[in-house]
Amino acid sequence: MLASSPSSETDPRLESALGELHRLRQFDGPPAEFWAALTPSLGRLVQAQRVLLILRDPAAPDRLRKLGEWAADGSADRAVMAFNRSLPALVAQVASNRSAVLPLDEDRTTPGPATAVGVSLQFQGGQEQCVAAVLLPTASASQCQEALLRLQLASDVPLAYQTHQAARQAAQDVEKFASVLDVLVLFNSETRFRAATLALCNGVATRFQCERVSLGWEERGFVRLKAISRTERFDKHMAAVQAIERTMEEALDQDEEIVWPRPEGCSLVTRDHERFAQEQSVAHLASVPVRLGDKLLGVLTCERQARPFTSLEVQQLRLVADQAARRLSELRRWDRWFGARWAAQVREVARKAVGPRHTWLKVLSLVGTAALVALCLPIYPYRVEGNFLLRSEEVSFLTAPFDGYIRNSTARPGDEMPAGSVLLELNTEELELQQAAAIADHTRYLREAEKARAARQLAEMRIAQAQADQVQAQLDLIRYRLEQARIRAPFASVVVEGDLRQRIGAPVRQGDALFRLARIDTLYVEAQLHERDVHEILNRTDGEVAFVSQPRLKYPIRVVRIEPAGVPKENANLFTVRCAFVDPPQTWWRPGMSGVVKLDVERRTLAWILTHRTVDFLRLLLWW
């Protein structure tokens, strides 16, 4: 019951209630504890018998939710029951007028009527309204007004608490982000996976005062330790390393942050953490999974002796792991040799295609089936391969017609010479002198024959005539040699051999080979095939050739003739196959060019193509 005298201002209970309300404005606990502490404070503030904190949603006004309840004693008399029945009406009036006083006339024997007083509390709850309803067992009208005034003065306590919590949460977020940024500064500067993991562990150990921080990476369903703070190298077979990996796998399997000692109300399995703490004498542990979206990449485990890990620190560790996950994943993917990168990419594609479980087994089964089908289908063209030389149908050797000296030569190998073009000229000065002497002798003998005929000396006439015929024969020979002094091309051809431009004035003897000419419009292919493949092309005519000088160009050919006899050559017995070109010859072709010839046989299975020579060898080796 409220006192109306000024002495009530010094009531210890009032001062205690006011102090409690002031403390609740700066309360740091969770909302449930706040509402539980606010309810009795309001009851002591107005000396109420009963206090209820009710949450009302305007969208559903008939549904009331209780946030807190307090009673001065555990009795439930008629006034309490009347108070409970009047709550919907009281809350409705408070929702309309922000405050309400509702008399309760259930108990006529009390000195004063019981009264229900309601006040709307300032509350950041969106559309929801919070109402503080109190029961005054015996109170006059002035006492009810004073209680209402006190409740209105205390109505801002929830709002002050929420504002304080928001400011406190903002400060924690700033501190949390600042700590995370401090840890990630050095981590983000690294470009290699191992260096980045070590920088991350060192940063977390320094920022959170941990004796040891370890990072494990998920590989084929297991966790493998990759880095330990302030440790460059470690033996993966050490008992401590294996114990850390088992501890990390416990957090990875549950996909939850695990803190040891286990907090109250925690339902996670912490058996491996407990055993690790006992074996390694670690007071406090915290394991945080490293996630990238829905995929678990690894686990970050922190060890500390001084103090336990708070919820804020666990949140900071979780934020560090989330921020570092993508970069760690990219560094892990690319900081490897190209074979591992290709295998990882193939595995990702195969995982999407055939599923995440037993990926390689499924892929190998599919590849093996496809390879078996590909090996057994006769769809691959089989060709017989050999070497070839380019030959000409007509080849001419030009020799020296007589003994002499070279006067001039303009031809060199590779030149195309039209029919009748001059290749070489011999010196004819001596022949011209012999021709002049022979002409003079011939004239002289003819005159002697005429003189003998005039003198009717028949014998002398015939002798002179015979000498003139002899000189004429010599003259014809000289003129023939003069005509042969210019060596000409007998047909349109190309010079294959012979470069006499450096031998001007040099002597030559009759019959010396000077030039070799070949026709380029009658070129053909002379192929050499191994005897083990000759039977394959007996009834085949098509094929292709590729020159050594132009391997990217292929030219079709057809088989003309197979020489009946083999030629032993280089530890092999070869058969000569003559082939003709289907298309006209190219201008850059020259006799003597070489390359590879492939003659079409038929379509065979890939298994036969790959194994038939080995099978033939084994047949000959094992035959008895």
- What is the 3 state secondary structure string of 264-311? CCCCCCCHHHHHHHHHHCCCEEEEEEEEECCEEEEEEEEEECCCCCCH
Q: Apex CA 83: angle with CA 78 and CA 85, to 5°?
A: 95
Which segments in the chain show pLDDT lower than 70? 1-11, 74-76, 105-112, 125-127, 172-179, 338, 347, 350-360, 624
In sequence order, which residues have a C-beta less than 8 Å from that of residue 614 and are 6 or more positions away? none
pLDDT value at position 125? 63
- Report pLDDT digits (tens) over 94-117: 888 888 888 886 544 444 578 888
d(CA 63, CA 456): 172
In angstroms, the CA 369 to CA 363 distance is: 10
- Give residue 107's pLDDT: 47
DSSP string of 243-260, one letter each residue: HHHHHHHHHHHHTS-EEE
| Gap between the Cα atoms of 114 and 83, Å rounded | 9
CATH 2.40.30.170 fits 519-622, yes or no: yes
β-bridge partners, 65: 55
Length of the chain, please? 624
Q: What is the CATH code for 171-335?
A: 3.30.450.40
> What is the pLDDT at residue 49?
84
Buried (b) or exposed (e) across 589-610, using 16+ Cβ within 10 A?
bbbebebbbbbbbeeebbbebe
Where along the chain do its domains lie? 6-155, 171-335, 338-376, 395-511, 519-622
Contacts of 198-205 with C-beta under 8 Å, sequence gap 24+, read: 198/227, 198/229, 198/232, 200/227, 200/300, 200/320, 200/324, 200/328, 201/227, 201/228, 201/229, 201/230, 201/300, 202/229, 202/230, 204/229, 204/300, 204/302, 204/317, 204/320, 205/229, 205/230, 205/302
Specify the pTM: 0.45
Q: What integer pLDDT is reported at residue 289 of this predicted model?
A: 93
What is the spatial distance between Cα 360 and Cα 366, in angstroms, rounded to a whole number?
Answer: 10
Domains 171-335 and 519-622 fall in the same CATH topology: no
> What pLDDT does 350 receive?
67
What distance in Å separates the CA atoms of residue 512 and residue 501, rounded to the nearest whole number? 16
pLDDT score for 545: 93
Q: How far apart are CA 323 and CA 179, in angstroms?
A: 12
Q: Is the peptide bond before 40 cis (omega within 30 degrees of 0)?
A: no
- How many angstroms separate the CA atoms of 233 and 211, rounded? 17
Specify the DSSP class assigned to residue 462: H
Q: What is the pLDDT of residue 250?
A: 92
Contact 572, 345 (CB under 8 A): no
CATH number of the domain at 6-155, please? 3.30.450.40
* Structure token digits, residue 362: 């499924």
H helices, E strands: number in the chain: 16, 24
Upper half-sphere CA count for residue 256 (Cβ side, 13 Å)? 10
Cβ pair 251, 270 in contact under 8 A: no
- Of the candidates 180, 160, 251, 177, the residue with the CA atom closest to the CA atom of residue 214: 251
- What pLDDT shows up at residue 434? 86
